Every structure is written in C-alpha cells, then in structure tokens.
Structure 1
C-alpha cells in the first residue's frame, strides 16, 4: 500500500471503514484522548512564573572571562594545561590538531558584587549591579561540542533536528494568556563586532511534531513586525473580517471531509493574524516610552533590530502577557580576536540585559517572569592558536544565569575546578535546566509529553533529568 507519510491520523481514520478501520478508529481516539488528558491537568501545580524571557547568546559566551573567576588562570597564563585536567575530552576539529594547550588567563578583572558577593567580570558592569537578583549557575554542561547540535540540544532537548522547541512546549502546555498575540515570540539581533556568528535556523523555535500553531513567531527588525501585517490598499477591516469568515467556512468543510488537524491550525492562525494587525504595531511603537527608559536600556534601544531594542520589546510583551519570549543574539563565537570581540558583545548586551531585569522588577513583573541568560556551551581555558588569540568550544562546564519567576536571587550555584574546565560540585545538565524552567511554569516535566512515533516525547528526553530545587526561592 502506498501510504502518504504526511497524512494525519484523523485524516486516515476519516477514510477507514469497517473491520480494521473500526479497530484503528478506536485506538486512535484513545491516543488522542490520552494527549488531551495529558494537557487538561496543566499546570500540574501552582506556578511561580507566568511567562519566560529567554536571552539566548548564540555562539557560546566565555564563562572564564565573565562569571567563573579562577585566579590560577592568571598565575599559570602561558603554561601548559595539565593533561590530567583535559583528560580524554573530545575536541573540536579546530583544536584537535594542536600539540600545545597553553592556559589563557581571563581578559577582564573580577570583583565581588552585591550583598551576595557574586564574582562578576568588569566586562559586565551593568550585570554586576543586579547580582542580588540573579542566580549564576557555574556547573552547566552538555555533550554537544559544535554549534548546530549544541544550539539544537539546549533549545529542543535533542541534538537531532525535528523536535519541538522549549517555547513551543510551553505554548502547547499552557496556551496563550493574550489572545491578540502568539504565545511564543522570537526576536533576532546581531553583534556589532566583526564576528558575524553562527547562523540561526527557524527550526530552533519550531513546533516539531506538536501542532504548528505552537511554533514561535519571529518579529522582524525593520518595517512591519510581521510580513503582510497590513491589509492591501482598499481593504477595510470589515472587508477582511468577511473574507476570513468565508475562508473559515470553506476550511471547516474541508476539515469535515479530511479530518486533517492542520486545517484547524490554519483557521486559528488566520484569526491570530487578524488580531495581531492591531496588537503587534502597538507593541513595536515606542513613542509612549519616556526618556528614562532609554537611559536605562541605552540609546540603542531606539534602533529596531538591536539587542537593546529587543530587550525593551521583551518587557513590553511581558506586560501584555506573551507566554514565551526568546531573544537570539549572534556573535559569541570567539575563536580569534577574543579580547575585542568579547568586549564588543558585552557592550551590546550587558546594559540591556540588566535593564530588562531592573525594569521588570520596578514594574512588579519580575516575580512572575522567569529570565534566563546563556548560550549553548562555554569556552576553553586554553588558547586556540596563539596565546590569547581565542578560545574553542567547551561543553564540560559553562555559566548561565536565571532571575525572577521563583528563582533565588544572589546565588552562585555549582563549582568548577581551578581551571574552570571540569565540574567539581553540583552539575546541572541542560536537561535539568529545562526541567527547572518547566517547574517554574507549573509543569512536571516527567508528566508532560506528546505521543509521537510510538514514544512519549518530552522536552527533557528519556534520560534522567531533575529540577534543581536549590535554585528556587521555595523548594
């Protein structure tokens, strides 16, 4: 039998009849009922966060130069990294041929900040001011050593493309709190340094095998926030409303004939687009923001497409209860020219990131907004190429921070060895990070799944993952 692999289960059932068809119908209805039951109990418990703002630093920020202070790196600058520290680590093709691995000291100066005394580099002077509001995790780790599998892994829970993104999972489980905006919105920006960074693919905010209505909607950096947002000349809102009503009626007839669930998604997306025609331009219009806002975020916040502008947009969307807001900022892949490129990235992102946390706090939104900052991995303690030129990818340990949404501020969690190369205490895998994020949203990651290809698929996968309760204000 020539089976169309893209035919939905409901479409198949609608065409089945008698005997085997009836058995298939019963089995599939049971499966759908299980999926619906799986969602109906959400949230599983009272959430500490209503929404997530994920500040994703694409390329792998250097934990060594920003958050993980290790005086021995300065003391042993230029000396060979002990083989016992490096061990049998799998290296990327960029350093696997090196015969020497000289230790490279940090390029910034570290000091303790806040009442908590968190060590933060002077490359991040604004982040230093919110030290008491953030929990810095030093012991993040991942198996991925290259960008595409690394970014795919941390954003979807698998190194293999095709799985739903974290934002899509949140949308699927909790839905939208603002019917005029998508539950998952994505904004992109590019660093001002010379390093263009790794490419960003739309599958990173895709819905995978979840219904496509849960995929992220990317807002554009110039012009209309969304393509074709405005109606053609001569088309009034009343005209458009009538067109959509007629189109929906035709689509419902098609759905009754085929049972394809994507038709329902299409109807919902047309309706969402209609409502967004009024909501999205209003969010992107900063004319109501006072000068004090731009003093806080920096003048770049006036310029669409910049990271600062996107951070301000994130706050405006949080005010309007968008469920999951993700910013991707490219340019953190410092294999060469470490000092100028890293400084440029910090200049672009430090003030807006800290401003976002401060702004949310001042507006009483931080308590129920979970903010996450970090990339797909860290950087090596040894130099790639000439001493001080750059750092290679490092997944054995790296740093991220979280704030708000039930997270304990002023916390430094996890410990690495004296070279910031291996984890010494309290490892946190990226699966644990995702489990903790879902927990803050009121979701038990072990009970939150979607049946696909005969498996109960999860954001945290099938390997062990746990909520890092020490990061939470209340366990």
Structure 2
C-alpha cells in the first residue's frame, strides 16, 4: 500500500483491480482446483500423451480394437426387416388382443385410436445362408450377410419417445448430461493415431421422410469427461470440419508460431488455476493443427479402386450419403480411429411406411453389407466391431389407414431388432425371440444397458469397473441398474 499515491481514487482503483471478481476466483481457487482435479479423476494425467488411454485399460484381452456404430435414427420397423411373423397374415385388420398389449404404455399419437388393427408385413421374407436366417426382401444385400452377423431380436428399452431413447442408447441415460459411448471409449482407450480424433461422427443424408427427428450434439458429447474426448463431426461440404482451415493469408508456419505462443499462455493459466480443461484446450489446438493435413488425406477417396467403390453402391462418391459415410468409416478404422458413429435419419414411419421404408433401405442396405465385405477382405473385421440398429421398434398394429399407402406404425420399446458383426461376435446366430405379434419378448431379453456392456467388453473393458468420479458419484456408461454382458453372442 505504501507504493500507492495518496490519491484516494487511485488507491480504490488499485484495490478493485487487485481483488476483482475474476482475480478472486483465479487466485482463491487455484489450490482447490488442483485438489479437486486429483480427487475427481485419479487416473487423469494432464501431461499424458494426447492419444493415450488409461494405463489400466484394457483390463482383459480385447476382441475388438475399434468399433463402427451404424445408427438408424427414428426406429426401423423390425417386423418388416428382420422379425418375420407369418402368423399375422391371418390377423389382418383384427384387433390387437389385450392379452398381448397387457396395458403397456402407448404414445399420444395412437393412444386415442378407437381400434388397434393388426398390419402384417407387406414384404416377403425368405431364409438365407447356412443359418437359414429369415430376412426381408427390402434388405437383399444384408440378407446375403446373415452368416456374418449375430441378429438380436429381443432388444428392449424403457424410453418410448425419440429424444430420450436415442440419448439412452448413446449415453446410458434418458436424461441429457451424461458422456456418450464414443467419449467413454476415447477416454478409456485413447486413439491409435495421434493425427486423428479417437471418436468421429457423421450424419448421413436420407431419402425417406421429408422430416426427421433432430440430432443433438450431446449424443456424441463428452459431458463430465475431458472435452478432448467428445466426438468430432465430419461434414459433407468442402470444409470437412468447422474452423479447421487457416484464415485467408495465414500460412502454416505462422499458425505454428501462434499455437506455440498460445500453448505457453495456456500453460501459465493451468499452473495458476489448476483447470484440467486448459490442457484439453491445448491438446485440441494441436490436434486441429495436425488434422489440417490428416483430414484432407482421409476424405480423398481418389485412391480407392473401382471394385471397392462398387461394394458400397452408386452413391459412394457423393459426399454425405450413407454409402460415402460407410466408406469413410472404413478409412477411419484403418487409420486408427477408435470409434466411428454414423447417424442415418428418417426411420420414423408413423405414416407412408410403404413408400418411405423401401427408400431408407435403399439408402443403407448395400452400403452396410459392403462395409462388412470391405472389412473382411482387408482382414479387419475380426478386430472391428460393427453395430446396426435404432432406438426402439415399431408396433404390429397400424397407425393411419390400414391398406393404404399412407399407413404407418407407432413407437414400440418392448422389443426390436439389432445386429452386430466382427470384433469377436459369433457369426450366423439369431439371439432372442418375440411373440407372434412382435410385441413382447419370449426368450433371452437384451436391454440396451446389456448392449453397451457387451460393446465395452469386446473392447477389453469391464463396464462395472469403468467409472469416472463426478458430483459425488462414480459415473458409469451402464448406470446404476443391472447390466450384463451378453456372453452367448461372443465367440
């Protein structure tokens, strides 16, 4: 104080500057921040290699090094694709029996209907492969892959509306605020390529419904995990990622000097405040700099031979199509990206199912099968886990005018179908059964928590012990309710 002038106004300004709100929080919480960091995440090391995972993982021999999740957002109709119910032809336009419904919850879109008429699938099913798995005529390419997959017919969830249901599958909780599956895998296992993110996301275009459910970035967000583990979205336009290119007039050497200076400033802030996100920010800047070279190389498919492009279908060279996204997923996998997720929207067929569902299948069927073929030919399928499915199923009863082109099906969380391939999953297997109405599970139920536990298990992680301390709880992808690895489908 004796160094200040005797002017009262000068003294007041100096005191306010020294003890401003920002300075108070920066200085007063430095020790607390460091202590909190240590208590929240004992295994987190700010100085660790950006591509490294936790030192104790994997905790058992993994069957899969990487995973590709093909997410059909909107909920595919299981009885029109995979869950063959020939008995329903005799039930055409008859009422869904109460003994089958059992008072189960309905959405507001059909809860006011006066009738619930049975709408058998209009599509022909035939057996395929050595496994003689029944598959719809809408998916001829995947029908040829039934000996490569495990088909689960007994998936179920509690969520009956899209947003909580998709959030549930992607983050393990119906409520927003939890870390996504890909972020957990990035946090636990890290990346095999320091020039690419461990978790990448693509949203494919679709040709079905003109409107589709929105996708929120929390589906690939990191939440309480360090932000470097959030999914990085690859775009279909000229700029594959936002803010990746340098501003006009800024050359790479200049950008390098800017990042070096910024890193020094951030390091000073980190030492003063103890905020782990500061180190995450440094690592993100460095990753972005490296991606300025790696992303253009990844997105350039000019080196792909024609016979490989033909596997994925005629739209493979059109950026943003599902076929192109599947090819990009394979390129990401072979470059060490740990987890890739493709969202394909438009599967919410409350109406116009006979016209829209075939379009959705044309978008995805050949490319999904082509991805499996491509991975197998490259020797990658054995250690790459591929998952296909949506957030819930559809009802056997009709929504709209039965027999007309505008009929549809409502949401149904009590049973739906998904398939898995590669990554140590058994081949040519069908798991779980449903009743003749594809309404209730009759054998081997698989909850979505069980699915996530199984994905983690195949990647070498015990879901019970894979936790992160946050808000006084040991957070888990599979939550606090019971979840079990589906060992029967693991080879």
Normalised-by-shorter TM-score class: over 0.9
Does 2:466 correspond to 1:448? Answer: yes
- Following TM superposition, by how much is the alpha carbon of 1:108 offset from its aligned partner in structure 2, in angstroms? 1.3
Distance (whole Å) between structure 2 residues aligned to residue 108 and residue 189 of structure 1? 26
- Following TM superposition, by how much is the alpha carbon of 1:75 offset from its aligned partner in structure 2, in angstroms? 1.9
Paired position in structure 2 for 1:437: 455
Distance 1:12 1:41, change over 3 A: farther
Paired position in structure 2 for 1:343: 358
Equivalent of 1:311, from 326, 330, 335? 326
Does 2:138 correspond to 1:123? Answer: yes
Paired position in structure 1 for 2:41: 32
Distance 1:183 1:339, change over 3 A: same
Paired position in structure 2 for 1:165: 180
Does 2:319 correspond to 1:301? Answer: no
Distance (whole Å) between structure 2 residues aligned to residue 444 and residue 385 of structure 1? 45
Distance 1:26 1:213, change over 3 A: closer
Q: Is contact 2:167-2:175 (8 Å) kept?
A: yes
- Following TM superposition, by how much is the alpha carbon of 1:386 offset from its aligned partner in structure 2, in angstroms? 1.6
Paired position in structure 2 for 1:59: 74
* Per-residue deviation, residues 290-320 of structure 1 (Å, max 9, x unmatched): 2212211111011001101100100111110
Distance (whole Å) between structure 1 residues aligned to residue 37 and residue 392 of structure 2? 41
Q: Is contact 1:195-1:341 (8 Å) kept?
A: no
Paired position in structure 2 for 1:469: 487
- Larger radius of gyration, structure 1 or 2? 2
List runs of 5+ in structure 1 lacking aligned partners. Answer: 1-5, 17-23
Distance (whole Å) between structure 2 residues aligned to residue 312 and residue 28 of structure 1? 40
Does 2:203 correspond to 1:185? Answer: no
**Pairing of 1:130-279 with structure 2 (within 5 A):** 130-279=145-294
Q: Is contact 2:209-2:349 (8 Å) kept?
A: no
Say which SS state the counterpart of residue 159 (structure 1) adopts.
Answer: coil
Q: Is contact 2:393-2:416 (8 Å) kept?
A: yes
| TM-score normalized by the length of structure 1 | 0.94
Paired position in structure 2 for 1:415: 433
Q: Is contact 1:195-1:333 (8 Å) kept?
A: no
* Per-residue deviation, residues 343-373 of structure 1 (Å, max 9, x unmatched): 0000000000000011000100100000000
Distance (whole Å) between structure 2 residues aligned to residue 26 and residue 54 of structure 1? 37
Distance (whole Å) between structure 2 residues aligned to residue 28 and residue 304 of structure 1? 42
Number of aligned residue pairs: give it. Answer: 459
Equivalent of 1:362, from 377, 384, 395? 377
- Following TM superposition, by how much is the alpha carbon of 1:193 offset from its aligned partner in structure 2, in angstroms? 2.1
Q: Is contact 1:361-1:367 (8 Å) kept?
A: yes
Distance (whole Å) between structure 2 residues aligned to residue 103 and residue 322 of structure 1? 45
Paired position in structure 1 for 2:12: none
List runs of 5+ in structure 2 lacking aligned partners. Answer: 1-21, 46-52
Distance (whole Å) between structure 1 residues aligned to residue 55 and residue 366 of structure 2? 41
Distance (whole Å) between structure 2 residues aligned to residue 128 and residue 26 of structure 1? 56
Say which SS state the counterpart of residue 92 (structure 1) adopts.
Answer: coil
Q: Is contact 1:373-1:401 (8 Å) kept?
A: yes
Q: Is contact 1:10-1:261 (8 Å) kept?
A: no
Distance 1:95 1:269, change over 3 A: same
- Following TM superposition, by how much is the alpha carbon of 1:98 offset from its aligned partner in structure 2, in angstroms? 1.1
Distance (whole Å) between structure 2 residues aligned to residue 98 and residue 10 of structure 1? 60
Distance (whole Å) between structure 2 residues aligned to residue 364 and residue 465 of structure 1? 32
- Following TM superposition, by how much is the alpha carbon of 1:186 offset from its aligned partner in structure 2, in angstroms? 0.2
